[in-house]
Every structure is written in C-alpha cells, then in structure tokens.
Amino acid sequence: MKIAVFAGDGIGPEVTREAVRVLEALDLPGLVLFDGDVGGVAYKRHGHPLPAETLEIARACDAILFGAVGDPDCDHLERHLRPEQAILGLRKELGLFANLRPAKVFAGLEDASALRPEVASQIDLLIVRELNGDVYFGEKGIRTLPDGRRQGWDMMSYAEDEVRRIAHVGFRAAMGRGKRLCSVDKANVLETSQVWRDVVIEVARDYPEVELTHMYVDNAAMQLVRNPGQFDVVVTGNLFGDILSDQASMCVGSIGLLASASLSGGKMGLYEPIHGSAPDIAGKGLANPMATILSAAMLLRHSLGLEAPAARIEAAVAKALADGVRGGDLGGSLGTHAIGDAVLERL
C-alpha cells in the first residue's frame, strides 16, 4: 500500500502533516508513504509545478494524499507554470475524472453554519463533480481583436462519453445513499448542458430505482441555501461543481471540514481537502487539518478498501467536534497541531 504525499503550498504542509500523523497512528501493516513536490514549491525547486519525478511517484503509488497548491508569488507566471497546474495535471494525467465531495453537518456544529441551525442540520449531500473536462480543459487563449481590445476565451464542451461515465458514478453513489440524484446544468442556455442532460436521462434507464431530477445551476445555488436538505447526490460538471462545492462548505460550517476524493474508476485516487493554500494564514499553525484528515479516511476507503480504519478516523473527528474542539475557522482558538492531537487522542 503505497501512498504519495504531496503537501504543496501555503497551509498544505501543515494540514498534511496532521493527516500523516493520523495515518501513521493506525499502524496499518504494509503502508508506505512517499513525498513529492507539487505547486509553487515545486516550481521554485524544479522549474515546474508538476515535475516529471512527482508524476512518476504518483504513477508508482496506489493513492495520493494532496495538501493544497497556490502561491501569490507565482501569479505573474505563464498559466502552464502556475501552481494550480499541478492539481489539474494530476487529475488529467491519472484520469481522475470523478470527484466526490461529501457535505454533512457534524453534530454540535449546527450553529457554525452560515445558515439557520434548523436548515443546516438537514444537510447530508454528496457532490459528484466531473473533473477531466468542461471549460477547465478546453482550448483557451487571449487574443487581440482588430480594434486593439484584448479578449480572453475558454472553450466549454462535454462529449457524450465524458458525461456518461460521470453520470454512472452519480447514479451508483445515489444507489448507495438515498436513491435521489439531482443533475445540475445550464441547459436553458448552454449546448454543452443540453448534451449533458440528454446523456444523464439516457443513463437513468440503467437505474430505475433512482429518482432523477434536473436543476439549472443558478437555481441549485439558490436551493443550496434555501433548503439544502432536499439534496442527496448532486452530479454536475467541472466548473459548476467547483463553485457549488465551495458554497456547500459554508453551509456546513467551514471549508476546513470538507474532504474530497478524485477517482479514476480503478484503485488510484487523489484525496485532498477542498480548501486552498490559504497564503494569508500559511506557516502560522492556524489552519484546520480536519478536511485533510477526513480526506485520508476517504483514501483508506476508496483506494485501499480499508473501511474500518476509515470509519475510525471519521468517528474520531466527529467526536472531537462534538467535544468542542474548534479551530479559528469555527470560532475557536486551537491550532493545527492541537487539533491533530485532539483527533489522535480520540482515535
């Protein structure tokens, strides 16, 4: 069981360190960890945000635990050298097309949500975000028009097979949960979304037990704060999923709590908190490592098939939160390492 640990930039190393402590505390036989550079730190050391060595380590491992990438020092670089290309490159190179982002309110955190407690307590949803296509990976550029104006452009597209495989992930996830799937698109305006919707409807025939609904993304954003309890599984494209999952995190209480899995259909998966590198608090030991610790739990479950230790980690985090363990993101004062300690004690 080989795990690549790519801590990255900003708070990435701090939160990843705590997740690694949790993994090591489980004392799983045969578990070996390998470090690699990604993001701005990799650019500074190797001249590229996703060096060939790093990709090689990734390919040799069963799973990746990823911290965060993003560094304001790199904002002036050409796009292909920016830190974000590390995560986009890994997703593409390893065929990690299915991103699972669960959002659930932990007991005791109903008051932390940006929503009223009685609304927040209903949240238990899973966003299934397509990760290899859409406007993220379309042709793009900046051109100068004949009249001298600069124009940026990004091509949005989805081919049927790309939609089909993520739709299956969405339906299968729904089968394992509440059997309700909401497909989010913008089919009233975008042709990309028309193909998306047609394919989702076609795939639905294979899952007669799942209740399928469709929602435009603007309405979905509104419904997510109005009545988030209505959602079970949400399946959507790369860009809409990016936006809705950040929104869902604040409905839950803190972006410091949301874990994610990026899956390829095989064993290989990449696991990361959905938050970014948070340069403003980097190096200060203030970040909440829970999202990364919960990502390590997802890693054990999805890539290594280790359900029991995964559930143990999740229970330890839930217990810590129920006991009032709070970082700054939740109005408390505990730092990164102290939160790690609190989880380890309960583990």
Q: Which residues are annotated as catalytic?
A: 136, 186, 218, 242, 246
Which residue from 22, 50, 65, 87 is in contact with ligand IPM, where contact means CB under 6 A? Answer: 87
**Interacting positions 234-253 with ligand IPM (CB under 6 A):** 242
Task: Tell me if 343 sits within 8 A of 22, measured CB to CB.
Answer: yes
Is 126 an interacting residue with respect to ligand IPM (CB under 6 A)? no
Q: What is the rounded distance in angstroms from the CA atom of residue 30 to the CA atom of residue 27? A: 9
Q: Which residue has the tokens 């809409």?
A: 240
**Nearer CB in complex with Mg ion: 258/318:** 258
**Nearer CB in complex with ligand IPM: 8/170:** 8
Q: Closest-CB residue for Mg ion? A: 242
**Interacting positions 141-200 with ligand IPM (CB under 6 A):** none
Cβ neighbours of 210 (radius 10 Å): 21
Which residue from 112, 274, 300, 306 is in contact with ligand IPM, where contact means CB under 6 A? Answer: 274
Q: Which tokens sit at 12? A: 């990435």
Task: Tell me if 62 sits within 8 A of 267, measured CB to CB.
Answer: yes
Which is nearest to 36 in space by CA: 15, 61, 11?
Answer: 61
**Nearer CB in complex with ligand IPM: 166/320:** 166
What residues have CB less than 8 Å from 289, skipping those under 6 apart? Answer: 14, 15, 17, 18, 19, 336, 339, 340, 343
**Nearer CB in complex with ligand IPM: 190/239:** 239
Diameter over CA atoms, the chain:
66
Is 321 an interacting residue with respect to ligand IPM (CB under 6 A)? no
Any idea how long the chain is?
A: 347
Is 88 an interacting residue with respect to ligand IPM (CB under 6 A)? yes
Quick check: helix, strand or coil at residue 258?
A: coil
- Least separation in angstroms between residue 37's CB and ligand IPM is 16
**Nearer CB in complex with ligand IPM: 210/298:** 298
Quick check: helix, strand or coil at residue 131?
A: coil
Q: Closest-CB residue for ligand IPM? A: 84
**Interacting positions 232-261 with Mg ion (CB under 5 A):** 242
The rounded Cα 131 to chain-centroid distance in angstroms is 10
- Residue 87 interaction partner, one of ligand IPM, Mg ion, none, beta carbon < 5-8 Å per kind: ligand IPM
Binding region for ligand IPM (CB under 6 A): 84, 87-88, 242, 274, 276
